[in-house]
């Protein structure tokens, strides 16, 4: 009786490296006597063999030890080099133990004696099974590697892979790796798109943006994705000038929108750079520094910033400064300065912004540009803000006694928005002193809001419930979209000083200022212009319908005492002094 039709025939595609056609036929007959449906090719020379390996995949390879044109041992090495998993069975005359070991070392799984191939079928079955296991194992290793080193969504390498590759570049002797730039990029609208269009759209944006970057980068560049709408790139060889050129190209390519599902999505991109060896000796540090400068890039028209040691909060001097700041908080070293805001329509004082100063015992007066970032990084921003709010409330009360009821605005950092305790303390302060609604204002940057939009909005609502008015600070530099503002519980925006300072000379700034005022008014929001330094810009803003002005043209930030002097002169002359006193 023949085999049942239902019995499965295992197809077997074999390569036979063998000069004898008779031996080959013998082998095939033996295999076919079992459940195998065999297809085979016999090759005799090195070239034939390599060709067969290159163009087909084989289930198993049989090789003769003694070949007329090249050695069986070489054949095994070549096959193994080509495919790490395919089973190789050597078929030979007696070769002795030593050679047998050599053969196995070269990568063969087994060897059978010619004329005695009784073991053939069991060897083939076993080797096929083991090869399948080896392949599966290798696949899962690769999968594990992929999971560990690649981003599942975009398929791009991740941070770990990026760092390993850059570290490897830094240790090679390759002259191309003597100068490497690490670039980082951040999509300006990523968080907003997630918040407004949903995560599917955000995910699609990450993929499309990654593709766009990949297309524009030089082919030797390494691109990775970092999360939160950020990417990292390594350019080698590259100096900062070259990196700047690349960054410009990438930046302007984001003028083109992305088509995502049914939406046409616009997003800008910010880029930061750090250069090996000047800005760091290892991959971690370079990436950290290139990420740190992204914040600065937000404020630049070119959307690009390179690392600079002076601004770095991780410098030893700055670490020492953070320690000093921790100590300063309990002492009298912090001061609150006040900068007036004037109402364009009435010409009256409309409030003050509280700006913190630090009288360092050795270094003298330090401006917040230097220590607020440090405070944010070290967590000291919580007690610092607490101090500012306390001092602001005290000052408000002190002035109120003299019939000067001035709203005081305090700046809040992103950490403050996540801090429930601070909100509770503020509420207690407001209740304790029975502060009327509007006595306190909060200034919050858009980037702070976008970092944790859900939490931030909750906090803003809580603040408003306490009667605190809310302004978006540095408006226009961050994730500027007035459409998004509509959904935020806010009272107004402060147009960033970079647009205000050249509103009379730069048509782009003028357009931004004009449209911000128009749209904000349509949404029922107040508009404050900060950084008003000259009469011409003051007049221009007044003509555009801006609500309030703040800046050196009116006055620099002043100590409480100097502010009182300024104020009495302001009241008595009824107008702005052309030359306001310097802050002292
Ligand atoms: P900001 O909130 O944008 O504050 C305005 C900054 O612009 C102030 O710098 C002010 O002195 C400066 N400024 C005012 N008028 C003009 C002008 O006409 N021209 C120019 N070029 N600049 C003007 P300052 O006081 O050095 O503060 C810098 C930043 O530090 C502030 O920027 C704010 O982000 C932060 N900051 C200040 N005090 C605090 C605080 O108590 N808490 C927090 N979290 N941040 C603060
Ligand atoms: Ca501010
Ligand atoms: Ca500002």
Can you say whether the dihedral through the CA atoms of 110, 114, 120, 124 is positive or negative? positive
C-beta of 356 in contact with ligand 1 (< 6 A): yes
The secondary structure of 438-466 as a DSSP string is TSEEEEEEHHHHHHSHHHHHHHHHHHHHT
Residue 257 lies in a domain: yes
What residue owns the CA closest to ligand 1's atom 3?
A: 474
Q: How far is ligand 3, taken at its centre, from the CA of residue 341, in Å?
A: 13
For the chain, what percent of residues have pLDDT higher than 90? 61
Q: Please confirm whether the linkage preceding 98 is cis (ω < 30° from 0).
A: no
* Mean pLDDT, range 558-580, rounded to an integer: 82
The single-letter DSSP state of residue 116 is: B
State the Cα–Cα distance between residues 403 and 400, nearest whole angstrom.
5
Does ligand 1 have an atom closer than 6 angstroms to the CB of 477? no
Both structure tokens of 39: 């297809």
Per-residue pLDDT, 312: 65
What CATH number should be reported for the domain holding residue 426?
3.20.20.450
| Strands of 65-119, DSSP E | 88-92, 110-113
Top-confidence residue, 511 or 233: 233
288 plus 435 within the same structural domain: no
Tell me the residue range of the domain where 73 lies: 2-147
Residue 575 reports pLDDT greater than 70: no
Atom of ligand 1 nearest to the CA of 356: 38
Atom of ligand 1 nearest to the CA of 413: 44
Residues 139, 164 within the same domain: no
pLDDT at 582: 44
Predicted local confidence at residue 304, as pLDDT: 93
Ligand 1 atom 41 nearest Cα: 356
Residue 100: is the preceding peptide bond cis (ω within 30°)?
no
Task: Tell whether 317 is covered by a domain.
Answer: no
With 80 as the cut, is the pLDDT of residue 363 above it? yes
pLDDT at 2: 42
User: 390: CA distance to ligand 1 center in Å?
Assistant: 19
Cβ–Cβ contacts within 10 Å for residue 112, how many? Answer: 18
The answer for residues whose C-beta is within 8 angstroms of residue 421's C-beta and 6 or more apart is 382
Q: Is residue 418 a part of any domain in this protein? A: yes
Q: Are residues 464 and 420 in the same domain?
A: yes
239, 291: one domain: yes
Same domain, yes or no: 263 and 364: no
Is 68 in the same domain as 215? no
The encoded tokens of residue 112 equal 């059978």
166 and 292 housed in the same domain:
yes
pTM (two decimals): 0.57
Neighbours of 370 (CB within 10 A): 16
3-state SS, one letter per residue, for 419-437? CHHHHHHHHHHHHHCCCCC
Asked if residue 538 lies in contact with residue 517, where contact means CB atoms within 8 angstroms, the answer is no
- Where residue 32 sits, what CATH number does that domain have? 3.40.50.2300
The reply to whether 97 and 193 lie within a common domain is no
* pLDDT(480) > 60: no
Tell me the β-bridge partners of 412.
444
Angle at Cα 270 formed by Cα 266 and Cα 275, nearest 5°?
A: 155
pLDDT of residue 579: 44
238 three-class SS: coil
Q: What is the DSSP letter of 530?
A: -
Is 4's pLDDT higher than 50?
no
**C-beta of 280 in contact with ligand 1 (< 6 A):** no
Secondary structure (H, E, C), 546-558: CCEEECCCCCCCE
Looking at the fold, whether 62 and 198 belong to one and the same domain comes out as no
DSSP helix/strand/coil, 292: helix
Instruction: Note whether residue 564 is domain-resident.
Output: yes
Question: Does the beta carbon of 557 lie inside 6 Å of ligand 1?
Answer: yes
Q: How confident is the model at residue 310 (pLDDT cuts 50, 70, 90)?
A: low
Distance 100 CA to ligand 2 centre (A): 81
Say what the pLDDT of residue 50 is: 96
Phi, psi of 186 (to 5 degrees): -135, 130
Residues 48 and 189 in one domain: no
Is 325 among the domain residues? no
Minimum mean pLDDT range among 131-145, 193-207, 274-288, 302-316: 302-316
pLDDT confidence of residue 178? 84
Does 255 map to a domain?
A: yes
414 CA distance to ligand 3 centroid (A)?
Answer: 15
Task: Give the integer Cα–Cα distance in Å for 410 and 441.
Answer: 6
| Cα 13 to Cα 26: distance, rounded to the nearest angstrom | 16
Q: Mean pLDDT, to the nearest integer, of 185-214?
A: 93
Ligand 2 centroid–CA 491 distance in Å is 14
Domain boundary among 116, 147, 178: 147
CATH of the domain at 194: 3.30.70.270
Cα 372 to ligand 1 centre (Å)? 10
497 lines ligand 1 (CB under 6 A): yes
**456 closest CA partner among 412, 409, 414:** 414
Would the pLDDT of 264 be above 70?
A: yes
Q: Provide the pLDDT confidence category of residue 44 given band limits of 50, 70 and 90.
A: very high
pLDDT (mean) for 75-96: 91
Q: Can you give the pLDDT at residue 5? A: 45
User: Do residues 86 and 201 share a domain?
Assistant: no
Q: Are residues 68 and 141 in the same domain?
A: yes
Q: pLDDT tens for residues 516-536?
A: 899 899 989 999 999 999 999
Structure tokens at 89: 């069975």
377 confidence band (pLDDT: 50, 70, 90): confident
Tell me what the pLDDT averaged over the chain comes to. Answer: 89
Determine contact, residues 409/526, Cβ cutoff 8 Å: no
Residue 7 confidence class, pLDDT cut points 50, 70, 90:
very low
* Ligand 1 and 340: CB distance under 6 A: no
Q: Select from 123, 147, 171 the last residue of a domain.
A: 147
Is 565 a residue whose pLDDT tops 90?
Answer: yes
Residue finishing a domain among 309, 341, 367: 309
User: Two tokens at 3?
Assistant: 């085999």
Give the phi and the psi of residue 493 in degrees, each rounded to 5: -125, 150
Determine, yes or no, domain membership for 512.
Answer: yes
**What total number of domains does the chain contain?**
3
C-alpha distance across the termini of the chain, in Å: 110
């Amino acid at each position: 009786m023949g085999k049942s039709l239902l019995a499965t025939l295992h197809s077997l595609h074999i390569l036979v490296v063998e000069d004898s056609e008779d031996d080959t036929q013998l082998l095939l007959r033996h295999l076919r006597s079992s459940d195998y449906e065999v297809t085979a090719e016999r090759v005799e020379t090195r070239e034939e063999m390599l060709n067969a390996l290159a163009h087909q995949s084989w289930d198993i390879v049989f090789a003769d030890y003694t070949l007329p044109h090249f050695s069986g041992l070489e054949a095994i090495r070549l096959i193994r080099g080509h495919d790490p998993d395919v089973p190789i069975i050597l078929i030979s005359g007696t070769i002795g133990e030593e050679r047998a070991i050599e053969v196995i070392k070269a990568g063969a799984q087994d060897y059978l004696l010619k004329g005695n191939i009784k073991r053939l079928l069991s060897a083939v079955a076993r080797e096929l099974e083991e090869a399948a296991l080896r392949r599966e194992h290798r696949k899962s290793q690769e999968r594990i590697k992929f999971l560990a080193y690649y981003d599942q969504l975009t398929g791009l390498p991740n941070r770990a892979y990026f760092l390993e590759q850059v570290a490897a570049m830094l240790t090679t002797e390759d002259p191309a790796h003597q100068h490497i730039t690490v670039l980082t990029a951040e999509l300006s609208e990523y968080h907003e798109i997630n918040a407004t269009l949903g995560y599917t759209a955000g995910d699609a944006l990450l993929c499309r943006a990654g593709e766009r970057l990949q297309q524009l980068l030089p082919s030797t560049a390494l691109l990775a994705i970092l999360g939160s709408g950020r990417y990292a790139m390594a350019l080698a060889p590259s100096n900062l000038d070259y990196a700047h050129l690349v960054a410009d190209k990438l930046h302007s390519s984001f003028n083109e929108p992305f088509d995502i599902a049914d939406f046409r999505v616009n997003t800008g991109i910010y880029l930061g750079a750090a250069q090996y060896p000047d800005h760091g000796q290892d991959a971690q540090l370079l990436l950290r520094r290139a990420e740190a400068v992204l914040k600065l890039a937000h404020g630049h028209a070119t959307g690009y910033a390179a690392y600079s040691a002076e601004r770095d909060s991780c410098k030893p001097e700055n670490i020492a400064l953070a320690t000093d700041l921790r100590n300063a908080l309990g002492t009298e070293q912090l001061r609150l300065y006040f900068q007036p805001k004037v109402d364009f329509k009435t010409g009256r004082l409309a409030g003050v912004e509280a700006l913190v100063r630090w009288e360092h015992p050795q270094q003298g007066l330090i401006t917040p540009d230097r220590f607020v970032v440090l405070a944010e990084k070290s967590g000291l921003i919580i007690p610092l803000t607490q101090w500012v709010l306390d001092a602001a409330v005290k000052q408000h009360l002190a002035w109120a006694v003299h019939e000067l009821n001035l709203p005081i605005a305090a700046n809040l950092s992103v950490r403050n928005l996540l801090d429930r305790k601070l909100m509770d303390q503020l509420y207690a302060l407001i209740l304790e002193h029975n502060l009327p609604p509007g006595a306190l204002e909060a200034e919050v940057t858009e980037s702070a809001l976008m970092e944790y939009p859900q939490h931030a909005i909750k906090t803003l609502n809580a603040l408003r419930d306490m009667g605190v008015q809310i302004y978006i600070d540095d408006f226009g530099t961050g994730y500027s979209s007035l459409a998004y503002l509509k959904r935020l519980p806010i009272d107004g925006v402060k147009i960033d000083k970079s647009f205000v300072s050249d509103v009379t000379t730069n048509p782009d700034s003028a357009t931004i200022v004009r449209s911000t005022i128009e749209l904000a008014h349509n949404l029922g929001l107040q508009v404050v212009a900060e950084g008003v330094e000259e009469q011409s810009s003051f007049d221009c803003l007044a003509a555009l319908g801006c609500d309030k002005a703040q800046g050196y043209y009116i006055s620099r930030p002043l100590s409480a005492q100097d502010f009182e002097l300024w104020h009495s002169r302001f009241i008595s002359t009824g107008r702005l002094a052309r030359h306001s006193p310097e802050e002292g």
